[in-house]
Structure formats: structure tokens, C-alpha cells
Amino acid sequence: MSSCLYVKCVWAFYLFSSWVPTLLFAQGADPYLPVKAVNLGNWLVTEGWMKPELFAGIPNQDLLDGTQVQFMSTKLQKYLAAENGGGTDVVANRTSPSGWETFRLWRINKSTFNLRVFNKQFFGLENQGKGNKVVSVLNSPGNSETFQIAKPGLVTADYGGSGWDDNNPSVFQMKIVRTLQGEYQITNGYGPDRAPQVMQDHWNAYITNEDFRFLSSNGLNAVRIPVGWWIASDPTPPKPFVGGSLKALDNAFTWAQNNGMKIIVDLHAVQGSQNGNDHSGTRDGFQEWGDSNIQD
């Protein structure tokens, strides 16, 4: 980790940690108070803005889970929309896009996806693929809710005519309006074959004992380490998360002890996502923590 960590930005308490000072002071006189801490972000919970190159090896890295896209018919110059935000037909009659015209990707592999609509149903063919209308009525995706995006920017559908030019009504221009770069995106993006090694290499190199020694020698006496809910199931967390973050946290406790420091463990990502942001481990940006039906 770069020595730029030494900058005097004590981030220690910006999320879910307002209780920490009270807890520490309640222990009575403590030689480690006051706490002088730094946040070790992007180590055990991925936040892509802090190290975007972590995502560089993912195929179609602009089409990760939670990417929000809009589709405009090149012939009609109208946007696809889930009527009423979902629960009924999908139409192509909107002149300007908003929430109902925005779809969130669930990535199956580099070119195969489900599309989730505003009210959390999935875009697909009616009657489990046996109908001839496009609808958004199912809460869980199946084969009829699974689509391929052949290349970024262009989406095509079955059409009996000839050619795929801009005058074809079944050709849609795809616009990406938002992306996510969190733990779900990086692990599902690399997939089960590559993600374990990518994450292990990151955990091993991003924070080391040398960083704890450097921090301690420059007057800091604690670190705050964000963790995700999946760490409780290590070494076999639910897919697509990968094992190994608990061992990295164990290493941190050893390094802290060796360098006379304390650790504040911050539950930074809860199951279902507490806020829909990258750091919450969300799949698609919906806030579902506390919902009775959390999409795993």
C-alpha cells in the first residue's frame, strides 16, 4: 500500500460507526484513547473507485451486475419501458427515459444477462417464453428472461426482415447510464475460476504488516477495517463471493498486536444492501436489506 495513507485524513467513523467512541470510552481509562485511526477501505470490501485497475481483466467490464441501461429503437426513436414500472407489458413508446425506461443487468456470463425493471420484476417473454409479448411480471428469472448482448451498444431481437440497419424496428441502441464496482461485481465478473486468485492476490498485497508498522510509527494507534456480511461464512461464502477475507482479517489482528494498535471492525455491507452503493455488496443497486425476500 502506498505511503499516501499517511495523509492526515482520519476517516475512522463515516459509516455505521457512530457507536464506536461510546463503546470504547465505556471501558474506562484506556491507554489507546483517544483513537487516532485510518480507514482501510477497498481491502476486504471492494470499492472500485479506489483501485479501478482491479477490474481490468474482466471481459465486458462495462457490463457488470447492476449496470443500468436504456434501450432506444433506432427506427422509432422511442425507448423501451416497463409499463407502471413492472408487473405488466414492456412497450417501446417513450420519447425520453427515466426510471421505468431503465433496466438493471444481472450478469450470468460475459454476454448473457437478465434485466431487472424498476419494480424488481424481470424482463422476458410472456408465458415462460411461449407467448409473443415482452413483459416484466416474474420476480425470479428463468430461460425466458435470459438474453444475450452480442456487443456493447447494440441489442437485436428476432425479426423476419432482412438486414440489421437502423431502419430495422428490432434494433435498439443501448446506453449505459450507471455502473457499479463492488464486491459482487468483481467476483461475479471474474467468475468462479479466476475470482479466488484475483481476490487473494489483492488481499495479500494491498495491506501488509509493513503498512501497520508505518502507521504506528507515525502516531496512529488504530485502523478501521470494513468487512462484508459474507465474511461470517468464510471460507465458503455464498456465490459469487469467494473465501479468504477472514484469514486476511486474522492477519490484521496479528499485525495490529505486533505494532501496538487496535482494530475497529466495521460491518460495511449487509445482506441485501443497506444503501444500494458499490461498497454495500449489492448486486444491482436496489436497497433490499430488511426486505422479506432478499435476492441472494
Query: The domain spanning residue 243 has which CATH number?
Result: 3.20.20.80
Whether residue 294 lies inside any domain: the answer is: no
The reply to whether 102 and 247 lie within a common domain is no
Residue 287 falls within a domain, yes or no?
Answer: no
pLDDT of residue 166: 64
Q: In terms of domains, do 93 and 155 share one?
A: yes
Q: Let me know whether 104 and 42 are in one domain.
A: no
Domain boundary among 142, 159, 178: 178
Structural domain count of the chain: 2
Domain-located, residue 125: yes
CATH number at residue 133: 2.80.10.50
163 and 72 within one domain: yes
Q: Give yes or no: residues 87 and 26 share one domain.
A: no
- pLDDT at position 148 over 90: no
Q: Mark which of 178, 211, 233 sits at the end of a domain.
A: 178
97, 17: one domain: no
pLDDT tens digits, one per residue of 202-249: 999 999 999 999 999 999 999 999 999 999 999 999 999 999 999 999
Dihedral sign of CA atoms 283, 286, 291, 295 in order = negative
pLDDT for the residue numbered 33: 76
Q: How far is residue 62's CA from residue 70's CA, in Å, rounded to a whole number?
A: 14
Same domain, 50 and 197: yes
Three-state SS at 292: coil
Write the Ramachandran bin of 292: left for phi over 0, alpha for psi from -120 to 50, otherwise beta.
alpha
130 and 218 part of one domain = no
- Distance set, CA 62 to CA 39, 70, 103, 181, 250 (Å): 28, 14, 15, 10, 34
Decide if 292 is inside a domain. no
Domain's final residue, options 143, 178, 213: 178
At residue 290, the pLDDT reads: 83
The pTM for the full model equals 0.84
Note whether 150 and 211 are same-domain residues: no
Domain residues for the domain of 168 are 68-178
Helical residues (DSSP H) of 134-230, grouped into ranges: 183-206, 209-217
26-75 pLDDT, tens per residue? 334 466 578 999 999 999 999 999 999 999 999 999 999 999 999 999 88
Instruction: Decide if 288 is inside a domain.
Output: no
In terms of C-beta density within 10 A (0-12 exposed, 13-18 middle, 19 or more buried), how is residue 191 classed?
Answer: middle
Same domain, 190 and 173: no
- pLDDT per residue as tens digits for the range 76-133: 999 999 999 999 999 999 999 999 999 999 999 999 999 999 999 999 998 876 777 8
25 found inside a domain? yes
Q: What angle, rounded to 10 degrees, do the helices at 183-206 and 245-258 form?
A: 40
- Specify whether 76 is located in the same domain as 173: yes
Whether residues 174 and 219 share a domain: the answer is no
Query: CA 31, CA 240: separation in Å to the nearest integer?
Result: 42
Is residue 286, in this structure, part of any structural domain at all?
no
100 occurs within a structural domain = yes
